[in-house]
Amino acid sequence: MTPDKELTDLFLEMIKIDATSGKELPVAQFIMDYVKALGFEAYMDGAAERSEGNSGNVIVPINGGGDFLLMAHMDTPSSTKGVKPQLLEDRITSDGTTILGVDDRGGVSAILYALKRAVNDKKQIHPCTLLFTVCEETTLAGSIYYKPTPEMKYGFAFDSHMTPGKFVNETCGAIAFKITVLGKASHAGISPEKGVNAIQIATKAMTTFPFGRIDEKTTASISIINGGTATNVVPDRIVIEGEIRTEQQAQGEEIMAKVIQDFEAAAAHFGGKIACSYIWDFTPYQISPEAIPYLRILDVGEKLGIEITGFKSMGGSDANSMNDKGVQTINLGVGAQNPHGTNEFILYKDMQTNCDIAYTLLTD
């Protein structure tokens, strides 16, 4: 199956725009020019303040903005500079030297071309909002900053790696934590007894850390450890960073409290101290089969003759931010296969289905 040539051309044009997190301005300008040529106003919000990047989110209110949104993110996980797309029999892939950029130019191009199709077909477009965010790949800064109107009730993010027709309606949340272990420096050879070894404190505390899969819905990890100055100095400062993922915020808080308690006990045992900070990078959400976005995507699947299935994910996305704001949002599969890798590709049939889903949401 070969998609509409104009859709393919749009995707190929967009992946050649190099715009990683915090550097989305060229994509933002492309989108604003594209929709303005179709007769729609677009504007950029102040998300650059939070992301410390060069662009805000691009917002396109359609017929007043409505009560639902279609969204995708403008950044790619790594550079697409010099991308050399290979158009094979059933797919588009890169030549293996860069990523292809399906995540998430596949979502952006599907939404933009669906809008153009609707205009060309002289279809009545539902009042809605198109939202193109910054920094999804890093901090979710764009979707966290976004301020939905009071009328905004639900949404559809075009961003999951899954095949079109599959979508994420349930995810975990993630706590990111940083623990600084403070000991006391001294000469490791001449007077080690005068020091308090921060590594020793951290090692003792980590013996009770719940590494890996705690249960079916919960994981924990310490992934970064930094500290020490020289082999002949008792280290007085170690910084540890990690995360806890869980479907239940209360459970996440309980696990975090226990981790802090264990580090405090280890520090007290050896005569040191700790300082800890943590935040919820994103909070969990669950969209029930009775919720409007779930029902609407089922209806779209019936109209298009494609199977629609909801899934649970242990990852986070802009959809988490939207749900945290009270905008019930599901994350639709766009078929970004092997995402983030230089062997990333998208099937032509998936590219077309993405656009068909967006078109149906806009017009039916």
On whether the CB atoms of residues 23 and 76 are closer than 8 A, the answer is no
**Sign of the torsion formed by the C-alpha atoms of 113, 60, 128 and 172:** positive
Beta strand pairing call for 58-62 and 68-73: unpaired
What is d(CA 293, CA 303) in angstroms, rounded to the nearest whole number? 15
> What is the model's pLDDT at position 4?
86
What is d(CA 22, CA 31) in angstroms, rounded to the nearest whole number? 16
Q: What is the DSSP string of 111-133?
A: HHHHHHHHHHTTPPPPSEEEEEE
pLDDT beyond 80 at 195: yes
* CATH number 3.40.710.10 given to 5-171+284-363: no
> What is the model's pLDDT at position 115?
98
- Residue 206: CB partners within 8 Å, gap ≥ 6? 222
Beta strand pairing call for 128-133 and 68-73: parallel
CA dihedral 28, 31, 35, 41 (to 10 degrees): -10
> What is the model's pLDDT at position 216?
87
Q: Which residues of 4-16 are buried (b: 16+ CB within 10 A; e: fewer)?
A: eeebbebbbebbe
pLDDT digits (tens, 9 = 90+) for 318-356: 999 999 999 999 999 999 999 999 999 999 999 999 999
> What is the model's pLDDT at position 255?
97
The single residue listed with the structure tokens 């933002």 is 28
Residue ranges, comma separated, of all CATH 3.30.70.360 domains in the chain are: 173-282
Q: Specify the pTM.
A: 0.91
pLDDT digits (tens, 9 = 90+) for 81-100: 999 999 999 999 999 999 99
Q: What is the mean pLDDT of residues 59-63?
A: 97
- Residue 298: CB partners within 8 Å, gap ≥ 6? 308
pLDDT beyond 80 at 119: yes
**Chain centroid, CA 210 distance in Å:** 25
pLDDT beyond 70 at 2: no
Residue ranges, comma separated, of all CATH 3.40.630.10 domains in the chain are: 5-171+284-363
CATH fold, domain 173-282, is: Alpha-Beta Plaits (3.30.70)
- Joined together, the tokens standing for residue 150 give 């009071």
Going edge to edge, which strands form the sheet with 86-87?
Answer: 86-87, 91-93, 345-347
Q: Above pLDDT 70, what percent of the chain?
A: 99
pLDDT beyond 70 at 139: yes
